[in-house]
């Protein structure tokens, strides 16, 4: 390979309709420089076919290596499933010195991060707050404070072990080394959210091909990556369902490939910008030839399906009493976030549902603000990757850079401790040699 990049960061997003991969590096300034990204289409549904997924992943990685000139080995991989869940846990540790050290914080967090179910695996642990002894006050960072007992409250993200094991097999059979799993809507949030939104509380809704995924962020940390997730949900409904609706909504049946093209090129969720009786030509299946389709009818079809998705998530927010955690609104991302008018539709549908179903004694007016987002423009990223469909991939780079930095700090501490220990041994040796009895 003709390029020398010491520690490339590689993110892999295995979706229902395609596999995307991205490679970047952390510059001396701390900025992430994107080197290149590649993707390969998957036939809908084959992501559950291990061998086909492995072969497609190999091709994507091979393309990434050719374009970047860099060998790919370690990878961060996005994961999601309809059974993912967030659980709040509490753990305690005795502070032996009477002053909280970093090891005490880590021990308290470790004590809280214990699960009883052997069928689940923890993929993320988010620190919510700490308490000192019986003091009810909550602290983000208790380092250096005085107490005898430290309590940690954490939110852990759990995923079925068999789902992760199957993804591990896929990565291993593609001759790659797994560096870490990352929850996909969390990764998307890392690349599209602002610290101000997270401080208020915000939900990321990533609408992909086969699934739509939501994660609720809220925290007082300066960095989005350090803010806890409070809730996550995955709905088995996305852009492919819209495409299926289009195939059977006009006078003649339309092939899936044609319906997908129509959705991208002609699709809209906004009625106000349509010219009365505007039509477009579409090639029907078989020998039926071309047929005329109404833009208004297409918009209605798309509105109906997306409204179903937004209403389902509004119901979820109400069911789990999350409205007080999303004062910053909803941020849409993923491939479908590029569809015209989808943000306004989401705002109308979710606000109406929550307003219609609020508690009778609640006098407050409910309004949910919604915006569409692509990865935030940062130095070295460029316009090529500033697309909603690449939000997860870009978030994987962000996550990977943070993990590398944390691991680097931990590694640097270890030799210092070892050298002190070795130095102490030498001192002890000379003391023993020259001790006068």
Rounded mean pLDDT of the chain? 86
Residues sharing a CB contact under 8 Å with residue 152, sequence separation 6 or more, in sequence order: 90, 91, 92, 93, 105, 108, 109, 111, 112, 127, 130
Task: Give CA torsion, residues 124, 26, 216, 205, to 10 deg.
Answer: -120
Which pLDDT band, with edges at 50, 70 and 90, does 416 fall under? Answer: very low
Please name every residue paired with 99 in a beta bridge, in sequence order, or none if there are none.
146
Is 293 inside any structural domain?
A: yes
Joined together, the tokens standing for residue 405 give: 């930095």
**How far is 350 from 367, CA to CA, in rounded Å?**
8
Are residues 153 and 247 both part of a single domain? Answer: no
Are residues 102 and 234 both part of a single domain? Answer: no
Are residues 140 and 209 both part of a single domain? Answer: no
Task: Provide the angle, in degrees to the nearest 10, between the axes of the packed helices 184-192 and 391-433.
Answer: 90
Is 181 inside any structural domain?
A: no
pLDDT of amino acid 82: 86
327 neighbors 236 (Cβ within 8 angstroms): no
**What is the domain-level CATH number for residue 133?**
3.30.1490.110
pLDDT of amino acid 95: 96
- Average pLDDT (205-211) is 92
- Final residue of a structural domain among 106, 135, 160: 160
Whole-Å CA distances, 319 to 255, 315, 325, 350: 38, 6, 13, 13
**How far is 437 from 429, CA to CA, in rounded Å?**
15
For the cut 80, the answer to whether the pLDDT of residue 48 exceeds it is: no
Is 16 inside any structural domain?
A: no
Are residues 262 and 201 both part of a single domain? Answer: yes
- Final residue of a structural domain among 335, 353, 372: 372
Are residues 149 and 201 both part of a single domain? Answer: no
Are residues 363 and 240 both part of a single domain? Answer: yes
**What is the domain-level CATH number for residue 353?**
3.30.420.40
Are residues 127 and 275 both part of a single domain? Answer: no
68 neighbors 21 (Cβ within 8 angstroms): no
Which pLDDT band, with edges at 50, 70 and 90, does 359 fall under? Answer: confident
Range from 268-272, 393-397, 419-423 that averages highest in pLDDT: 393-397
pLDDT of amino acid 288: 72
326 neighbors 318 (Cβ within 8 angstroms): no
Is 334 inside any structural domain?
A: yes
Of the chain, the percentage scoring pLDDT greater than 70 comes to 87
Joined together, the tokens standing for residue 136 give: 């009810």
Is 171 inside any structural domain?
A: no
For the cut 90, the answer to whether the pLDDT of residue 408 exceeds it is: no
For the cut 70, the answer to whether the pLDDT of residue 377 exceeds it is: no
Collapsing DSSP to helix, strand or coil, 106 comes out as helix
Of the chain, the percentage scoring pLDDT greater than 90 comes to 61
Interval 82-123: pLDDT, tens: 889 999 999 999 999 999 999 999 999 999 998 888 899 999
Interval 235-253: pLDDT, tens: 999 999 999 999 988 878 8
From 153, 82, 84, select the one nearest 123 (Cα to Cα): 84
pLDDT of amino acid 409: 62
Are residues 236 and 357 both part of a single domain? Answer: yes
Residues sharing a CB contact under 8 Å with residue 395, sequence separation 6 or more, in sequence order: 11, 78, 182, 186, 187, 188, 189, 190, 191, 192, 375
For the cut 70, the answer to whether the pLDDT of residue 5 exceeds it is: no
For the cut 60, the answer to whether the pLDDT of residue 432 exceeds it is: no
Is 335 inside any structural domain?
A: yes
- Final residue of a structural domain among 330, 348, 372: 372
Interval 132-172: pLDDT, tens: 999 999 999 999 999 999 999 999 999 999 999 999 999 99
Joined together, the tokens standing for residue 402 give: 């943070």
Collapsing DSSP to helix, strand or coil, 149 comes out as strand
Are residues 238 and 318 both part of a single domain? Answer: yes
- Average pLDDT (294-302) is 91
Number of domains in the chain: 2
Is 408 inside any structural domain?
A: no
Which pLDDT band, with edges at 50, 70 and 90, does 283 fall under? Answer: confident
The DSSP secondary-structure symbol of 228 reads P
In this structure, of 112-126, 373-387, 403-417, the range with the lowest mean pLDDT score is 403-417
Are residues 219 and 288 both part of a single domain? Answer: yes
Are residues 213 and 350 both part of a single domain? Answer: yes
Q: What is the DSSP string of 303-367?
A: HHHHHHHHHHHHHHHHHTT-GGG-TT-EEEESGGGGSBTHHHHHHHHHHHHHHHTS-TT--SPP-
> Dmax over Cα atoms in the chain, in whole Å?
107
- Average pLDDT (174-196) is 94
Which domain covers residue 353, as residue numbers? 197-372
Are residues 105 and 208 both part of a single domain? Answer: no
| Residue scoring higher pLDDT (77 or 386) | 77
Is 75 inside any structural domain?
A: no
**How far is 110 from 107, CA to CA, in rounded Å?**
5
């Amino acid at each position: 390979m003709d390029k020398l990049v010491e520690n490339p960061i590689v993110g892999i997003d295995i979706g229902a309709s395609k596999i995307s991969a991205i490679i970047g590096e952390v510059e001396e300034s701390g900025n992430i420089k994107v080197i290149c990204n590649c993707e390969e289409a998957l036939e809908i549904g084959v992501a559950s076919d291990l061998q086909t997924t492995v072969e497609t992943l190999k091709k994507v990685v091979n393309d990434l290596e050719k374009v970047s000139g860099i060998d790919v080995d370690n990878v961060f991989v996005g994961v999601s499933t309809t059974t993912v869940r967030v659980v709040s846990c509490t753990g305690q540790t005795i502070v032996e010195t009477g002053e909280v050290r970093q090891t005490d914080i880590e021990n308290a967090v470790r004590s809280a991060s214990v699960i009883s179910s052997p069928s689940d695996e923890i993929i993320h642990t988010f620190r919510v707050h700490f308490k000192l002894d019986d003091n009810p006050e909550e602290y983000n960072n208790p380092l250096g404070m005085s107490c005898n007992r430290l309590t940690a409250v954490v939110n852990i993200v759990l995923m079925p072990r068999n789902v992760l094991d199957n993804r591990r097999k896929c990565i291993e059979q593609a001759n790659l080394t797994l560096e870490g799993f990352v929850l996909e809507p969390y990764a998307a949030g890392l690349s599209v959210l602002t610290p101000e939104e997270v401080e208020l509380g915000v939900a990321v809704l990533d609408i992909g091909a086969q699934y739509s995924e939501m994660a609720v962020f809220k925290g007082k940390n300066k960095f989005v990556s350090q803010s806890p997730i409070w809730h996550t949900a995955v709905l088995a409904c996305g852009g492919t369902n819209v495409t299926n609706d289009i195939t059977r909504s006009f006078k003649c049946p339309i092939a899936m490939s044609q319906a997908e093209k129509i959705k991208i090129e002609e699709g809209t969720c906004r009625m106000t910008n349509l010219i009365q009786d505007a039509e477009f030509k579409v090639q029907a299946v078989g020998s039926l030839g071309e047929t005329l389709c109404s833009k208004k009818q297409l918009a209605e079809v798309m509105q109906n399906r997306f409204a179903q998705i937004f209403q389902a998530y509004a119901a979820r927010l109400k069911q789990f009493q999350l409205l007080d955690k999303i004062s910053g609104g909803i941020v849409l991302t993923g491939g479908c976030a590029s569809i015209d008018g989808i943000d306004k539709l989401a705002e109308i549908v979710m606000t109406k549902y929550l307003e219609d179903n609020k508690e009778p004694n609640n006098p407050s007016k409910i309004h949910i603000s919604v915006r569409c987002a692509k990865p935030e423009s940062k130095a070295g990223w460029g316009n090529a990757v500033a697309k909603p469909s690449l939000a997860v991939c870009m978030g994987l780079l962000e996550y990977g850079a943070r993990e590398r930095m944390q691991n680097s700090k931990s590694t640097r501490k270890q030799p210092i401790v070892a050298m002190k220990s070795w130095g102490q041994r030498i001192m002890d040796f000379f003391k023993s040699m020259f001790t006068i009895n």
